[in-house]
Amino acid sequence: MFVGLVNGKPLASIVSAGLSKFGKREGLYARELFAEAVKEAFDRCPRLEPKRDVKAMFVGHMGEAYEHQGHMGAAAADWAGLLNVPATRTEAACASSGVALLSGVYAVLSGLADVVLVGGVEKMTHRSTAEVTEFLAMASDYPFEQWHGITFPGLYALMATAHMHTYGTTETQLAHVAVKNHYHGSLNPKAQMQKEITLEAALASRVVASPLKLYDCSLITDGASCLILTKPELARRFTDQPVHIIGAGQASDSIGLYERQSLTSLRATRLAAQKAYEMAQITPDDVDVAEVHDCFTIAEIIAYEDLAFCGAGEGGKLAETGETRLGGRLPVNTSGGLKAKGHPVGATGTAQAYEIYLQLTGQAERRQVKGARVGLTHNVGGSGATATVHIYRSEA
């Protein structure tokens, strides 16, 4: 039996969702991308009257540096046509909109807001790779990591090296993650990278931070995403196909990788997942489809283990079996993931939830997981200092 924690009811319900096209969106500001995602969400939900019904907004946005623009909550509300709605920006690096989603759940559960818009946005591609690398590095520890020149490819390369040393994980297993996610991305019309790649191409791509190669790394992306949440008892007022959030967890760890207990596991993910599973009263075996934080291929392999989809050290083998590919036992990152769909950092958490919303309402088209009823999203900030996990159930 799938239930939530609050009096046997789900925590909150998704009644609509929107996503901008991901990729290099030249000539647009972040606020315009957010308006694109919001328009889709409003168009999907004709029973909603936004100016009357929406009572609060939470918008994930990582950095002012990209556009020299802060105060994104108010800016996003303005361009969403919701000037009178209290709007708050949430920031937790790449988990910014995962935290926005949880903040929206809190608002609904508190009773202070019956309908909440949550989302995220980032505009990145107009900056050089060097600038983006510097801005992203701000999510790591300044005096002990940034100061010494370590970048996020470098940090995740350390994790990959440790995982290989401890468990025998191989570069070929990492490449299997990339090949799978590019295949899924090729089926997603909103993905940045809509092309398949071969295992040989992935393994032959240039080294970025050994052992991570070009195809092991997620993309610099522009994009926005959003969801409309409401109380479960009100969901049918707005849609005939609500998706219920039945579990949610957030946890933190040391910001510096050098302070962690382990380089082969993210403690924040394990803690957030434990909270979410307990709240939803399910086990990992009950999950039909998942979107996990594959900023690098090693991150997806570690996520398999931390979310208990397999045992410690077995993530590489799971990737190699094809069980996480469409048609497999547990399809993961059917959207293409951060690897192929793209990674506009502030938008990623709610973009993952958008994919699960499509899957659980039977709207995922060529990448639809047959019979999917329970979904999971996993969003990580930085090298693992923040993690959120949400669990979803379809109405049917």
- Active-site position among 182, 343, 378, 390: 343
Q: Please confirm, yes or no, whether 61 is among the known catalytic residues.
A: no
**Distance (Å, whole) CA 39 – CA 95:** 23
DSSP β-ladder status, 12-19 and 223-230: antiparallel
Active site residue 94: yes
DSSP, residue by residue, 84-106: TS-EEEE-BTBTHHHHHHHHHHH
DSSP per residue over 297-321, as a string? HHHHHHHHHHTTSS-TT-HHHHHHH
Long-range contacts from 43-51, C-beta under 8 angstroms, 24+ separation: 43/18, 44/16, 44/17, 44/18, 45/15, 45/16, 45/228, 45/238, 45/239, 47/237, 47/238, 47/239, 48/15, 48/16, 48/115, 48/228, 48/238, 50/80, 50/81, 50/82, 50/117, 51/81, 51/82, 51/84
Amino acid identity of residue 117, one-letter, is L
DSSP readout, 161-198? HHHHHHH---HHHHHHHHHHHHHHHTT-TT-S------
In the set 94, 217, 226, 310, the catalytic residue is 94
The catalytic residues are 94, 343
